[in-house]
Structure 1
Amino acid sequence: MPPEPAANCPELLYLHDPLCGWCYGLSPAISQMQADFAGRLDVSVLCGGMVVGSDAGPIANSWDYIRQALAEVETVTGVQFGDAFRTLGETGTYRYDSEPPSRAIVAFRHITQDPAQTVAFAHAVQQALFRDGHDLNEAATYEPLLARFGVNAGEFARRWAAPETAQAARQEFAAVARIGVQGFPTTVVRIGEQGYVLARGYQPYEQLRAGLEQLLRETI
């Protein structure tokens, strides 16, 4: 789990998965909320393990569904999926597995101890796949992403490959499951000891913002 937010500061938990196209569509809104609610709200990202274990495998296994969803995600959210990602899908051999990119996000969080930067890194990871068609199963994919945040690539690679990081990722998947998440993305606001579901699934920024403002008015 990410570090606790500052005392008396509400926290938005962005429950996502690196392979979730609707999460890719929501990430710009999450970034906007970070900017607009700076000083009033901490934002953290958690990985849910959407495609792991026996569900992981060649992207060909789910490409028909993914391909049909791309146009809807683009139309509703305004994000774009790159031709390189579509080529990965059409080729069919790319291993679709949430654990390697989730380990990357966990490793980044452990190194930086910075939840806000981790949210930005998680978005960069999704762009690497969905926009640029890069292989999230390879440590080298993350090197240019890390450079933006000043993170040492060697330290990251060691942590990414470490068994304890894989264990931490699995524990994070279990923690998200205990929250009761049934789909991604889900946004939860934690105020003190209480958690409030802000949205299940994608919502436009203005709708999220209005819901958050109302929640903060009613609970603080």
Structure 2
Amino acid sequence: MINTPQSKLIYVHDPMCSWCWGYAPTWHALEAALVNKLPIEYRVGGLAADTDLPMSQDMQLQLQAIWQKISSQLGTEFNFDFWRDCQPRRSTYPSCRAALIARSFNKEPQMIAAIQQAYYLQAQNPSDEAVLIKLSEKIGLDPRLFAQQLHSNELKRRFDDELNYVRSLPIQGFPSLVLIHNNRAYPIAINYTDWRQTLIEIQSYL
């Protein structure tokens, strides 16, 4: 593969997307295979907008069924105590903003991993800013500065710009991969268990 300014792979995700959590091991293997070969950009997709309303019972049951499906198909670990111990809200925008703040300090992958582990393994709710602030400290950020930035106009602008950009890409959900090559965007099929198949598809364009 040739590393050219015209080529990059965009990983579109949401830190609280359960399929992104299921894809994580395969994604990291693909990412490692592309180190020093193809630039990679993370982009947050914004799965669910801000809300203070509790998640409906129907939605809770629907998401629990998705977790069970992912666990069955991919062997992904989930801590179902979340649904007993937390008050779920259908809101992933705060975790997306947290990822953007971490990106400014070159810690975006660490923040994503911290959010996913807190949510899916430790039964914590990343829709709550208090959880995100604690995670920011865990990955080495200044929690007071992080808390200030969560509500800044600059972060709001960056997040709006990111959502607009993601919506311009040829994606149909999260996670998604898009290869930019010679100023064209190519959707890359997600294989949840075999990163090599994805690598072969990427290489076919380059």
Instruction: Report the TM-score when normalising by structure 1.
Output: 0.79
1:82 aligns with 2:68: no
- Stretches of structure 2 that go unaligned for 5 or more consecutive residues are none
Moved more, 163-172 or 31-40: 163-172
Instruction: Show the counterpart of 1:41.
Output: 38
Aligned residues: 203
Displacement after TM superposition at 1:73 (Å): 0.6
**Is the Cα contact below 8 Å between 1:14 and 1:43 reproduced in 2?**
yes
SS in 1 for 2:187: strand
1:219 aligns with 2:205: yes
Deviations 1:80-130 (A, max 9, x none): 111332325xx6x322201111111111112x1x3xx42342232122112
Displacement after TM superposition at 1:148 (Å): 5.2
Write the distance in 2 (CA, Å) between the matches of 1:121 and 1:107. 9
Displacement after TM superposition at 1:53 (Å): 5.5
Instruction: Show the counterpart of 1:99.
Output: 93
Displacement after TM superposition at 1:22 (Å): 0.7
**Is the Cα contact below 8 Å between 2:95 and 2:132 reproduced in 1?**
no
**Is the Cα contact below 8 Å between 1:58 and 1:96 reproduced in 2?**
yes
| Amino acid of the structure 2 residue aligned with 1:22 | W
Tell me which stretches of 4 or more aligned residues in structure 1 moved more than 4 Å. none
Write the distance in 2 (CA, Å) between the matches of 1:214 and 1:47. 23
Deviations 1:119-169 (A, max 9, x none): 342232122112212122333323453345432222222111213213322
Larger proportion of helix: 1
Instruction: Tell me: CA distance 1:23–1:141, structure 2 relative to 1, closer, same or farther (3 Å).
Output: same
**Is the Cα contact below 8 Å between 1:81 and 1:131 reproduced in 2?**
yes
Instruction: Show the counterpart of 2:102.
Output: 108
Moved more, 146-155 or 65-74: 146-155
* Residue 70 (structure 1) aligned to one of 67, 70, 90: 67
Instruction: Report the TM-score when normalising by structure 2.
Output: 0.84
SS in 2 for 1:146: helix
- Stretches of structure 1 that go unaligned for 5 or more consecutive residues are 1-5
Write the distance in 2 (CA, Å) between the matches of 1:82 and 1:66. 13
